[in-house]
Amino acid sequence: MSAPSRTAELSAPGPAPATGLATAAGPVRAPGTGTPAGAAPGTGNGPALDEASALTGVPHILDNPAYAALHGPHARFAERVGRVVRYQLDVSPWLGMPEEPGPQDWADLAALVGPDTEVPLPATGVTLPEGWTLVDRLAGVQFVDAGLVAAHDAEAVRLGPADVPEMLDLVARTRPGPFLPRTVELGTYLGIRRGGALVAMAGERLRPPGWTEISAVCTDPGHQGQGLAARLVRAVAAGVRDRGEVPFLHTSARNTHAIRVYEHMGFRLRRTTEFGAARTPPAEGR
């Protein structure tokens, strides 16, 4: 797994698409080893929710955001086998499994993605079945809105399918994380242009009910230091708030610059997590 890009000002690390967003805390072990109640945008009520989850043992929806999104607002993008779901491959690499996957869930995941295939781990704290291979893991963090000053931005323009070639080029140069030809369909993406060229962007990715993840935050290296990424985060967050939802985001625990900026903007660290990837067993007879 590659290190965080210095050119992606506020972004998550830039792994290959198969290296994914983890959705529960704890280490990965190799084989054999509506707005949520009580949480309003900007109120900082997240800690109470986290404490309630710890006391009741009921997982928070943000512990498994891809699974929740694919059973909710993003159901139209879902491909599934049994209880395992994933985004269509040209939309996003992320997938979801139940909080405590059983042997059948792992078999269904292997059937869904195929043999000898690298996939993002949908949860950490799980033991991989026999035949699976742990490929990589990286510490991550999850932040939630706890007083962010969100604001629409007059210079920010809505990006759509016609802008995808430029968006893919910017992502290739800044590596904020996976962005595919149809990722733009997941939600609102905003950009800032200078001299007609797209120089910064941010948008919406996972949408578990009541929440929206801000992602693909990146700025062209020649235009960093101007606060463009922070402006776009605030603008995307304003749109999320307009729907009555709460912004959240992920980044690498090593991306200390992004963490400082997000905290300064009004995001609160909700939890540590792990980005991980594994490879499914090879085809029988190989």
d(CA 241, CA 161): 24
Per residue of the chain (286 residues), give pLDDT as tens.
333 333 344 544 333 333 222 222 233 444 443 333 333 333 334 444 454 454 445 679 999 999 999 999 999 999 999 999 999 999 999 999 998 899 999 999 999 999 999 999 876 667 899 999 999 998 999 999 999 999 999 999 999 999 999 999 999 999 999 999 999 999 999 999 999 999 999 999 999 999 999 999 999 999 999 999 999 999 999 999 999 999 999 999 999 999 999 999 999 999 999 889 999 999 986 5
Q: Report, at the CATH architecture level, how domain 46-139+274-279 is classified.
A: 3-Layer(aba) Sandwich (3.40)
DSSP code string of the chain: -PPPPTTSTTPPP---TTS----S-S--B-TT--PPTT--TTS--HHHHHHHHHHH-PPPGGGSHHHHHHTTTTGGGEEEETTEEEE-TTT-S-EE--SS--HHHHHHHHHHH-TT-EEE-S-SS-BPPTT-EEEEEEEEEEEEESS------TT-EEE-GGGHHHHHHHHHHH--S---TTGGGGS-EEEEEETTEEEEEEEE----TTEEEEEEEEE-GGGTTSSHHHHHHHHHHHHHHHTT-EEEEEEETT-HHHHHHHHHHTEEEEEEEEEEEEEPPPPTT-
| Residue position matching structure tokens 């323009």 | 157
CA angle 258, 276, 85 (to 5 degrees): 110
Domain residue extents for the chain: 46-139+274-279, 144-272
Handedness of CA 250, 254, 258, 261 (dihedral sign): positive
Instruction: Dig out the tokens for 260 from the structure.
Output: 């400082």
CATH 3.40.50.300, domain 144-272, yes or no: no
Query: Fold match between 46-139+274-279 and 144-272?
Result: yes
